Amino acid sequence: MRVDAWTLLAEARRAFPDKWHGLTDTDTRYRQRYVDLWVTEEARATFRLRSRLISLTRRFLEARDYVEVETPILHPIPGGATAQPFVTHHNTLDVDLYLRVAPELYLKRLVAGGMERVYEIGRVFRNEGLSPRHNTEFTMLELYEAYGDYHVHMALLEELVAHLATELVGGTKLTYQERELDLTPPWRRATMSDLVEERIGVRVDITTPIDDLRSLCDEHGVPWKPDQGPGKLLLELYEKTTEASLWDPVFVIDYPAEVSPLSRPHREVQGLVERFEAIVGGRELCNGFSELTDPDDQRSRFEDQARLKASGDAEAMSVDHDYLRALEYGLPPTVGLGVGIDRLVMLLADQPNIREVILFPTLRPEVGLE
RNA sequence: GCGCCUCUAGCUCAACGGCAGAGCAACGGACUCUUAAUCCGCAGGUUCUGGGUUCGAAUCCCAGGGGGCGCACCA
């Protein structure tokens, strides 16, 4: 080798980690991603996969005539999900604003305005606990389609996930955390009641007397409160006894209306709504439903939520009068779906922790760094 | 918020009540052989912090801090 000339492009004033062992301290990896990306090939691969996944998702939806939109992140009224929002303040307007917990209500305003297929991929913020599956801010894909019902979006979602798996990991049969997982459509559809029955061996549904539900909760160590109705108890039973035991993809369908303030009533069963969640690898991947389009029904559901909020439920929604006004102009039958992009990336990148798929995850601020 | 585990050189780790060490990286030199590993040399520490026990603490105890996992909350 013969050097004719050389120029110093950048100076490394700090020593890099061990070339062979790399970084094992996850705290350092997450705080100093600029070092992690240098030394951890797996991290580079994960974030490349994430980028491709989002790109493929856009192309998939655009091929189906979905239009990408951007809606406000600062909301005057938090809504669209039952979750605690962050509060901030606008100085000039002198009003409190909330970081969005979901884009849902704005996207449905757009459908009411004649945009029949819309989607948004964006950050939402929830002021709640952190875990290997929860980050304070995370990326949600939400999409809405006029003239469809929840069956339409179940089919779309399983097709999207199968497409992404094929493109990104070479097929729909994969291994997640050393366990086989088959994403090949069609996925099973099963009602919440049926799944709980399979698990605990007792038939429960929305008509089960509340005392029976309460004693079942006691029997399975599920805490309950006197003000919780049968729908809430059914959901609690499902979540505590059944959800984590589901592994291969399943659409859990037909949720209690009581816990679904934005969903359309079930076409056949009183007290239920046409809602579904996809559980994959024991984890919720998406949440969707035929949308509630009746402004009177929506108003009374909002009022129920507002009562919960007044009695101390920090996650309950408020009445959004402008949204009700939009419904009064007429929202066609519509289906909507929200997908946790981070969790989808975890699944396809075979990562067990959400922090592995977010470049700069939320951490306690570092002290003593000056 | 509660419980369990964890924190030693830039990084990966040892020392587990008796003088804080190694490998890699860095730095100086030799070598001109790329796909972790050449050789010689040199340097590197508030053992997370503060107390306590002890003749003696990285090691045992208490409190605090950071992180991980579980529970709770949630997606």
**What is the amino acid identity at position A211?**
D
Q: Measured from the CB, is A312 under 7 Å from any atom of strand B? A: no
| Residue A128, number of CB atoms within 10 A of its CB | 14
So what's the pLDDT on residue A315? Answer: 84
CA–C1' distance A113–B71 (Å)? 45
Rounded Cα–Cα distance for residues A109 and A86 (Å): 23
Rounded distance between C-alpha atoms, residue A121 and residue A116, angstroms: 17
> Is residue A172 very low, low, confident or very high in pLDDT (cuts 50, 70, 90)?
very high
Assess whether pLDDT exceeds 90 at residue A164: yes
Considering only residues 196-235 of chain A, list those whose CB is below 7 Å from strand B. Answer: 223
- Nucleotide at minimal C1' distance from the A133 CA: B75
Residue A282 has pLDDT above 90, yes or no: no
Alpha-carbon gap, residue A330 to A190, rounded angstroms: 32
ipTM: 0.85
Are A246 and A281 within 8 A, CB to CB? no
Please give the nucleotide, over all strands, whose C1' is closest to the CA of residue A338: B75
Nearest to A121 by CA among A47, A67, A43: A67
Chain B positions within 7 A of any protein Cβ atom are: 1, 10-13, 23-26, 32, 36, 65-75
* Per-residue pLDDT reduced to its tens digit, A13-42: 888 888 888 888 888 899 899 899 988 889
> How does strand A250-256 pair with strand A173-176?
unpaired
pLDDT of residue A1: 58
**Nearest residue: Cα versus C1' of B70:** A131
The helix-helix angle for A321-329 and A104-112 (nearest 10°) equals 30
Q: What's this model's pTM, rounded to 2 decimal places?
A: 0.93
Cβ contact A300 with chain B strand, < 7 A: no
Give the three-class secondary structure for A360. coil
Q: What is the pLDDT of residue A369?
A: 62
Strand B–CB A273 distance below 7 A = no
Half-sphere exposure of A159 (CA within 13 A, CB side): 9
Could you check: is the Cβ of residue A364 within 7 Å of any atom of nucleic acid strand B? Answer: yes
pLDDT confidence of A370, banded at 50, 70, 90?
Answer: low
Can you tell me the distance from the alpha carbon of A289 to that of A340, in angstroms, rounded to the nearest whole number? 15
Read off φ and ψ for residue A141, nearest 5 degrees: -100, 125
pLDDT reported for residue A2: 63
Position A60 scores a pLDDT of: 98
Closest alpha carbon to A111 in A339, A336, A337: A336
HSE-up of residue A258 (Cα within 13 Å, Cβ side): 16
